[in-house]
Amino acid sequence: EEIYCKNLTEVLNFNGATAIDMSPIVGSVPLKKRIVNNSNPHPSALVHAMTADMILKMLPSILKKKQIL
């Protein structure tokens, strides 16, 4: 998983996209609360909310770096 994320981040950055590593933030959340349920391993509403908060915090610096803001 770590190698996949590192490679994906490198590809995104190379192509001008910004990758946000959420693992330090959601890693402390118990697995049961990180996924929808045992049959659906997609991120839970909690993880989506945490991701949205991180994007909002990072957005001004991302836009400034891309000279959009």
Burial of 42 (C-beta count, 10 Å sphere; 0-12/13-18/19+)? exposed
The pTM of the full predicted model, rounded to 2 decimals, is 0.75
pLDDT tens per residue across span 34-59: 999 999 999 999 999 999 999 999 99
Tokens 């990180």 correspond to: 34
Maximum average pLDDT range among 2-6, 19-23, 48-52, 62-66? 48-52
